[in-house]
Structure 1
Amino acid sequence: METVTLWRPTGPEELALVEATGWRAWPPRLPDQPIFYPVLNEDYATRIARDWNVKHSGAGFVTRFEVSTKFLDRYEVQQVGGVTILEYWIPAEDLDELNANIVGTIEVVAAYR
């Protein structure tokens, strides 16, 4: 099975919910979060975790996970800034299916406080 490596900048509350799943799934989006946006490179995830999550919640984490290419093929990569500012926009209603297409576990690769 082909996979794509994705990254997610995560705050402490979301990370606790991921841990509660055994590191296998992302929690449902809140009503004001209609999109789940994993990013395509570690540098972009690091900047968000370090510069935004820490400021707003006291800690930021960079997570990494693999998703089936077949699942992601139905979504376009969104460029939301410079050439390396790339992310997928997964509608909240598709999150359960995304979780079912995670291969392996969600890993924490960096922490910032």
Structure 2
Amino acid sequence: MSTAAATVTMHRPLRPEQDALVRVPGFRRWPPRLPEQPGFPPATDRRYAGEIASRWNVKDSGVGDVAQFAALAAFVDQYAMQTVGGAHHTEWWIPAEDFDKFNAAIVGSITIIARFDAPPAEPRP
């Protein structure tokens, strides 16, 4: 008899350059962190990730997506959830030094679940 390990659903707002990586079929790992990035903050809430994608990423680059993925609860439970704004603005903080272990704890594929585009430009008179 097989029992599946418990998982936690996580969300991540994406910029266009990240989106291109996630759209590869079967994508299961996040790309390496840049040296100036001290950690990885996946959102606990789809709504919060959507707000970042639609408000910040669309403003900065014209488009924003939200990715959803699962990670082993036994790994995620090591990290406290942090509230970084309103009640639904919650995320985990995965330190950069634990990032490879975090990637190894991802179960299944990372998928795009929402897309936000900039509104069309107004026609010039």
Q: TM-score, normalised by structure 2?
A: 0.85
Residues 18, 27 of structure 1: 8 Å contact kept? no
Instruction: Give the letter for the 2:84 counterpart.
Output: V
Instruction: Give the letter for the 2:64 counterpart.
Output: G
Aligned to 1:34: 38
Residues 22, 112 of structure 2: 8 Å contact kept? no
Q: How does 1:78-97 map to 2 (within 5 A)?
A: 78-97=82-101
Residue 25 of structure 1, CA deviation: 0.6
Aligned to 1:59: 63
Does 1:8 pair with 2:12? yes
Give distance in 1, aligned partners of 2:46 and 2:24. Answer: 24
Give distance in 2, aligned partners of 1:21 and 1:74. Answer: 29
Instruction: Give the letter for the 2:16 counterpart.
Output: P
CA RMSD of aligned residues (A): 1.3
Aligned to 2:53: 49
List structure 1 runs of 4+ shifted beyond 4 angstroms. none
Q: Which structure shows the bigger proportion of residues in helix conformation?
A: 1
Give distance in 1, aligned partners of 2:99 and 2:63. Answer: 24
Give distance in 2, aligned partners of 1:57 and 1:25. Answer: 23
Residue 19 of structure 1, CA deviation: 3.8
Give distance in 1, aligned partners of 2:98 and 2:25. Answer: 18
Q: TM-score, normalised by structure 1?
A: 0.93
Residue 18 of structure 1, CA deviation: 3.2
Give distance in 2, aligned partners of 1:47 and 1:2. Answer: 27
Give distance in 2, aligned partners of 1:70 and 1:52. Answer: 32
SS class of match (1:53): helix
Aligned length: 113
Structure 1: which 5+ runs fail to align? Answer: none
